[in-house]
Chain A
C-alpha cells in the first residue's frame, strides 16, 4: 500500500515540528519537515505531492505583531492558490496551537471557501501564558454529527496539554458563532473532568463558549490550541492514563484518524 505523505510546514520559530513528525510516523505516515522558504523556492506544485498538511506549534517569527500573524500573512500572500486548492480538494490539514492561530488568521478556518479572517485567537483573559493539562469535551451531538475526520473514535472527554498566551477564540460576530454551532464545527470545548462547563484555570484562556478546537464544514481542516503531539504515549500523561490499548494517549488517535482517512 502507498504510504501516506505528510508535509509539516515550518518557519523561523516553529518548535513542535519534530514531535508532530514523530506522531505521524508512529501512525505509519512518511513525513517531511519543510521550511516555508524551501516550499516557496521549490516546484510550484510540490505541496500536491503530499496527502496531509500540518502546521505545528511554536512561536513562528517570534510571535512578532501577534501570534501567527507574520506566517499567516506570508502563506496567504504567497501560497494562497495552492493551499486553498489543497484544502478544497479534501486533503486533511491540521493546525496545532501556533498552527491554529495561523489557520484562523489567514482565514482558512472556519471557512476555507471564504478564505477571510472572521475569527481570531486573542490574548488569554488571564493576560498570562497558560501551560497545563486540560479536559476537552467532544459533545455527543458533535461526535455523532461533525464531519471532522480528525476526531473520530474519541470518548466524550479527553485530556491534552495546552501551552499558549494567545488562545482566546473570538468570532467577528454572533452570526458566525451561531453558524459554527449549527454546522457542528466546534469540535473541542474546554470542560471539567465530568464534561461540565469549566471555570479558570480549566478553561485556560476565556474562549467564547469554551472553544478549544474547530473544523471547517467539510471536516478536513482542523485547528486546536491543545497539543495532541504531546500525548502520544500514556507515559506522557501525569497520571499515566491511556486509551484502550494501554500504551498510547488520546493524541495518537487524532493523528491516526487522518492517516487512516487518507489510506
Chain B
C-alpha cells in the first residue's frame, strides 16, 4: 500500500488551512498560530511505485502550485508524516480524517476512474483523507472539540490525533 501526501509549495498560501484557522477562532480558540492542510491518499493494488509516482505527480497534485510525497505503508494506521513539511515538535498536532469503512468515498471513486484514464490498467483500491497540522500548544480536549465541531462528521468519518 502506498501513501501520498500533497502539499502546497511554500511560496503559495495554504487556503484551506487559513480558512480552518479562521473558523477555529470563531469557536473562541485563539492559541493556534498556523494550520497547514494537505489531502491524503492511500493506494493499494498490484501497482509498482513508478505507477504510484505517476498517479501522484500527474493526477493528484498540481504541477504549478503543489508537490507530493509517496511512501509505502502497511495499513491505514501507519502514519508517516513527511519531515519536510511540518517540523514535528511538541507544539504541532496532527489530525487525520478518513471515511469509515463502508462509507462511499466519492473522491476515491473518481480517482479509480482517473487512474484507468492514465493508462494504468491494474485494479487499484483508493482511500482519500485529510490531514491538518496545527501549530500551537493545544490540549487533547480542545483538539477533540475542533475535530468534532469543524473538521469531521463523526457519523461517517473517523479521526486520529497525533
A interface residue numbers (CB < 8 A to B): 61-62, 64-66, 69-70, 73-74, 77-78, 105, 117-120, 122-125, 127-128, 170-172
Contacts and interface: CB of A to CB of B under 8 A. Distances in A.
A115 B39 CA distance: 27
Interface of B: 12-13, 15-16, 18-19, 22, 39, 58-60, 62-65, 106-107, 110-111, 113-114, 117-119
Classify the interface of chain B: helix, strand, loop or mixed: helix
A171 B59 contact: no
B25 to A, nearest CB: 14
Contacts of A74: 114, 117
Q: Can you list the 6 inter-chain pairs with the closest CB atoms, starting with the nearest?
A: A64-B110, A123-B15, A120-B64, A127-B19, A127-B15, A64-B107
Given A105-B62, A120-B65, 8 more contacts: A61-B113, A62-B107, A64-B110, A65-B111, A127-B18, A128-B19, A171-B64, A172-B63
> Helix, strand, loop or mixed for chain A's interface?
mixed
Nearest to A64: B110
A125 B58 CA distance: 24
A89 to B, nearest CB: 25
Given A73-B114, A73-B118, A77-B118, A65 B107 contact: yes
B12 A65 contact: no
28 contacts: A61-B110, A62-B106, A62-B110, A64-B106, A65-B59, A65-B110, A69-B62, A70-B110, A70-B113, A77-B117, A77-B119, A105-B62, A117-B64, A119-B64, A122-B12, A122-B62, A122-B65, A123-B15, A124-B15, A125-B13, A125-B15, A127-B15, A127-B16, A127-B18, A127-B19, A127-B22, A170-B12, A170-B65
